[in-house]
Amino acid sequence: MRIDLHTHSTTSDGTDAPAALMALARDAGLDVIALTDHDTTAGWPSAAAALPAGLTLVPGAELSGRWYGPRRPGPDGGDGAAEPAGNATRPEHTEVVRGSGRGETVFRPDGGRGGRTADGSAPGEGAQAPVGLHLLAYLFDPAYRPLAEELAKVRRSRERRSEKIVALLNADDIDVTVPEVQAYAGGGTVGRPHIAQALVRRGLVGSVDEAFAPEWLGRRYRLPKADIDVFTALRLVREAGGVPVLAHPRAGRRGHIVPDAVIAELAQAGLWGVEAGHPDHTPDDREHVRALARDLGLRVAGSSDYHGANKTIPLGAFTTDPEVYDALIATATGTTPITRC
């Protein structure tokens, strides 16, 4: 059984339409594929309709989350987050960017005062720098209102951010337009990879990856978007019957190193699993995550994070063990995997 639980279509920042992605998955010899577009379930119906015989679809999404600080009990003893609840989606006010040294990641609160090395150990005393992270959610009920509304908020924030980035580029005489960027999104969630495509099209950068260098979207034209408080995200995914898995916690290249102490907190707050196998993880990262998962009682997943031509990683580059998959579908209550009969 070959199981790939993390892929993107044109519904977010992949380059293959959901239907085409299903055909590719079959050609790649997968038995199970999860569709996990960023903050949206819009690709589920067309993926399901195009499912080839022999391939099982696990509907999912990749949520843009953020850890804002250690969780404190809420006023009613509930799961209050570090800051007052009420507006779960909060603007990003810290960026986690690559440091100059190899393997080093530096937290840069508000424009880069000071730095803090995140080596996967505890964030240290007094460390409250928010941490951006991605939470995969599987087999949740897409009609569960509170979760659907949070996702819609994040999508709107992405759209607004794209418009502002286009304005910044225009101010520097780079003639990217909003309609063009929207066209690359093909009706899906507009994101930075679509702006990257516009830069590639103009020959300003050689690839989408290059467009995320510091002089482009990586820093110079980087703007925050609203993310979901990770404790809220975990709760909503669970309430919707879904299963939450932390995506690529050691993928520093993407600015997403999640300290072990944070993962331990998430495990206590309902996190079910964590990705160890991922193209952005080194063999050491994978081993580290496996050991941590053992300690914390988390399941371990492996996935390609396939994005089509936006990245060069093939479907099935990393896979998830059938036992973990079986446990996942046994845990989920929001919806079921889809197989064509």
Interface positions with Zn ion (CB under 5 A): 62, 305
- Nearest approach in angstroms of CB 40 to Zn ion is 12
β-sheet bridge partners, residue 65: 133, 228
Say which residue the tokens 């299963």 belong to.
Answer: 243
Residue 64 or 94: the one with the smaller Cβ distance to Zn ion is 64
175 SS3 class: coil
Residue nearest to Zn ion (CB): 305
Residue 62 or 95: the one with the smaller Cβ distance to Zn ion is 62
Say which residue the tokens 């702006």 belong to.
Answer: 195
Residue 200 or 251: the one with the smaller Cβ distance to Zn ion is 251
Give residue 245's Cα distance to chain centre: 10
- Nearest approach in angstroms of CB 311 to Zn ion is 10
Both tokens of 73, joined, read 């009990």
Cα(209)–Cα(338) distance, integer angstroms: 33
Helix 283-296 to helix 260-268 angle, to the nearest 10 degrees?
A: 40
Length of the chain: 341
- Nearest approach in angstroms of CB 286 to Zn ion is 17
- Nearest approach in angstroms of CB 62 to Zn ion is 5
Residue 64 or 232: the one with the smaller Cβ distance to Zn ion is 64
Helix (H) or strand (E) holding 13: none
- Nearest approach in angstroms of CB 203 to Zn ion is 27
Residue 15 or 166: the one with the smaller Cβ distance to Zn ion is 15
Closest CA to 20 of 2, 7, 4: 7
